[in-house]
Amino acid sequence: MDNYQILKVDVQERIALLTINRPEAMNALNSLFFDEMEDFLTKLPDQPDIRLLIITGEGKAFVAGADIAEMADMTQSEGLAFSKRGQTVFRMIEELEIPVIAAVNGFALGGGCELAMSCDIRVASAKAKFGQPEVNLGLTPGYAGTQRLSRLVGKGDAMLMLLSGDHISADEALRIGLVQWVTEPEELMDKVVDLAKKIVSKGPLAVKKVKKAVRAGLESTFEKGCDLESQEFSSLFEGEGKEGMKAFLEKRPPKW
């Protein structure tokens, strides 16, 4: 998983750090990025030792958007295919069994904001900027930005971002619920890695099942979500949960 031109992959302590490394273009998303990301995500489930994925960007940007230079000469049918490709790859991120944290180090605009939203948790540098500026180009978001943003922050704040095309600060993103933490720039990766290590220390099956239940519940009815939660809860009584409860009672660390 390391023979890529744009992506850099580093795996340590059961955590994969994926860096988008195209700083000369502010990490803009092009067709090669989607090729490499799809390849990485397809192979990731075959790496059972990896229990969490962190996504970040090299240089001053997380991702400054889709590659406008590539899009400018596309036909309508090519634009449709480019949109669907991005939606498919970002859905793959969302549907990973393991948690995904976006470490947003700088500009997360357009496709970059959409990429961050496909992750489970977003931690931002105080210098980060978020936005969906597509209307400034006479376009709409193409990678499910109109769908995920409204689900994450509510209709009003989503409409404000989408219709104005304005950038918002990391603090404003925190206020509306787009990000979960804001850190000083020099502390970003340390904070994210500490969080990743904390999550990785928990019951690995339980972590996967929590993510599954939350995602399925958001895309279903409350009743169906509760049914799935009960099934996932009870399924752990014959393995990981049994060990966890026993370890608690015996006042010792669990053996996952």
Query: Mean pLDDT, to the nearest integer, of 181-199?
Result: 98
Q: Sign (positive/negative) of CA torsion 217, 222, 227, 230?
A: positive
Q: Which among 70, 114, 219, 240 is annotated as catalytic? A: 114
Residues present in the chain in total: 256
Instruction: Give me the residues paired with residue 54 across strands.
Output: 17, 101
Closest by CA position to 199, among listed 87, 120, 138, 130: 120
Q: Is 114 a catalytic residue?
A: yes
Distance, in Å, from the CA atom of 206 to the CA atom of 239, rounded to the nearest integer, reads 10
Q: Is 78 a catalytic residue?
A: no
Q: Token pair of 117, please?
A: 């939203």
Query: Mean pLDDT, to the nearest integer, of 32-52?
Result: 97
Q: pLDDT tens digits for 75-85? A: 999 999 999 99
Q: E strand or H helix at 56, and its extent?
A: strand 52-57
pLDDT attached to residue 239: 86
Query: Mean pLDDT, to the nearest integer, of 202-225?
Result: 95
pLDDT attached to residue 1: 61
Query: Mean pLDDT, to the nearest integer, of 44-73?
Result: 96
pLDDT attached to residue 70: 94
Mean pLDDT of the chain: 97
Q: Token pair of 104, please?
A: 């947003």
pLDDT attached to residue 232: 96
Distance, in Å, from the CA atom of 9 to the CA atom of 71, rounded to the nearest integer, reads 27
* Contact residues for 134 (Cβ-Cβ < 8 A; gap 6+): 110, 140, 141, 142, 145, 162, 165
pLDDT at residue 91 tops 80: yes
Distance, in Å, from the CA atom of 57 to the CA atom of 145, rounded to the nearest integer, reads 19
Place of tokens 């931002």: 124
CB atoms within 10 A of CB 205: 16
Distance, in Å, from the CA atom of 40 to the CA atom of 76, rounded to the nearest integer, reads 28
Query: Mean pLDDT, to the nearest integer, of 150-162?
Result: 98
pLDDT at residue 211 tops 70: yes
Cβ atoms of 122 and 102 closer than 8 Å? yes
| DSSP 8-state code for residue 135 | G
pLDDT attached to residue 3: 87
Query: Mean pLDDT, to the nearest integer, of 176-203?
Result: 98
Query: Mean pLDDT, to the nearest integer, of 176-195?
Result: 98
Question: How many Cα atoms sit within 13 Å of 31 on the Cβ side?
Answer: 8
Closest by CA position to 143, among listed 161, 118, 168: 118
Q: Which among 36, 58, 134, 240 is annotated as catalytic? A: 134
| DSSP 8-state code for residue 167 | E
Q: pLDDT tens digits for 217-247? A: 999 999 999 999 999 999 999 889 999 999 9
Domains and CATH numbers, the chain: 7-200 (3.90.226.10), 204-249 (1.10.12)
